[in-house]
Chains A and B, each alone.
Chain A
């Protein structure tokens, strides 16, 4: 184990932890202005949009592969599947479709 690598890892750990920790420790939820609170409450669903696109389309050279997965996951969700069902269902479908791509 090299000291050089360990220093990089510790540095990465510090700069990753601090932004995650600051709001929880120093931001008092009840003194946030209503407008900012409204924006922060919009963040989860907006973030999901950005976390899915364009990443999901780019997991294979052929965008249709990711697109099939997206359609499958939305379909299983809308049919009422829970988190595990959606994850496993779309992976199984993609594995079956894999030879086509």
Chain B
């Protein structure tokens, strides 16, 4: 089922769809739970699906539901969303280093889809990341998130709690599957991930999730760059091969 009408879509787009499939699967339990909680919070079906359609940010959406349930004011909910999602500024800046040069409008389009998971899949690619590829990963993940929100609203209550709990591990399994191959290749990856994991475990004791992730990621990335500056790649460096259109 290909939707290749312009040249920049096509095979890179299909590859993106394929690599985004694990995210789409991983989003099923999360989105179903979201839809179900939205229903119990008293949102209408349209409001629930609209939130997934327009916001597309798992953690922030869950937080908004609990704040709504607690009767929190609108501005506070919006501000909390901003704080929780500001980490994507860092992730977008990082992905932008490896993404191929392209029309700013096309990049502004896929920017909407840079969730933690879409970032993790696209940013761990070795070479320059194609615009069509990012769109592929984004679209399949987004479709799953939105559709399953509706499903969760309708039938979420039917899913047994025990199965929900093991399904909740799906996204962590995805992150591990993205990290493990790089761990085998480079000592540096182990240091980065381990340092950031330890820092985040500490910071999340007293900081919001969003800030804890930003701080631990930035500190680990900066200290490792300071100790072991990135060498120019021996062959096939991406910076010299970056495509321009």
Q: B-contacting residues of A (Cβ < 8 Å)?
A: 1-2, 4-13, 15-17, 19-25, 27, 29-30, 32, 35, 37-56, 59-60, 65-66, 69-70, 72-74, 76-78, 81-84, 86-91, 94-95, 98
Contacts and interface: CB of A to CB of B under 8 A. Distances in A.
A49 B88 contact: no
A49 B43 CA distance: 35
Contacts, number: 296
A91 B169 CA distance: 7
A87 B174 contact: yes
Contacts of A41: 94, 97-98, 230
A35 B120 CA distance: 22
Nearest to B50: A9
| Residues of A contacting B: mostly | helix
B171 to A, nearest CB: 8
Contacts of B82: 15-16, 19
B92 A54 contact: no
B204 to A, nearest CB: 6
B180 A45 contact: no
Interface in B176-211: 176-182, 184, 188-189, 192-201, 204
B124 A44 contact: yes
A72 to B, nearest CB: 8
B217 interface: yes
A38 B111 contact: no
Contact of B170 (A19, A45, A52, A91): A91
Contact of B193 (A49, A66, A76, A89): A49
13 contacts: A12-B81, A16-B57, A19-B82, A19-B88, A20-B85, A20-B88, A21-B111, A42-B230, A48-B196, A49-B193, A49-B194, A52-B172, A78-B184
Contacts of B11: none
**Interface size grouping (class) on chain B:** 35 or more
Given A11-B81, A86-B180, 10 more contacts: A12-B81, A16-B85, A20-B114, A37-B97, A45-B182, A49-B192, A52-B197, A53-B198, A73-B173, A83-B121
Given A7-B74, A21-B108, A87 B192 contact: no
B213 to A, nearest CB: 5
Given A27-B93, A73-B177, A59 B168 contact: yes
Nearest to A57: B201
A51 B116 contact: yes
B200 A49 contact: yes
A73 B114 CA distance: 24
A29 B129 CA distance: 13
B164 to A, nearest CB: 10
Contacts of A1: 44, 46-47, 50
B78 A86 contact: no
Contact of B221 (A17, A22, A42, A86): A42
Nearest to B104: A25
Interface stretch (B1-9, B18-26, B146-154): B18-26
A47 B47 contact: no
A24 B111 contact: yes
A88 B165 CA distance: 14
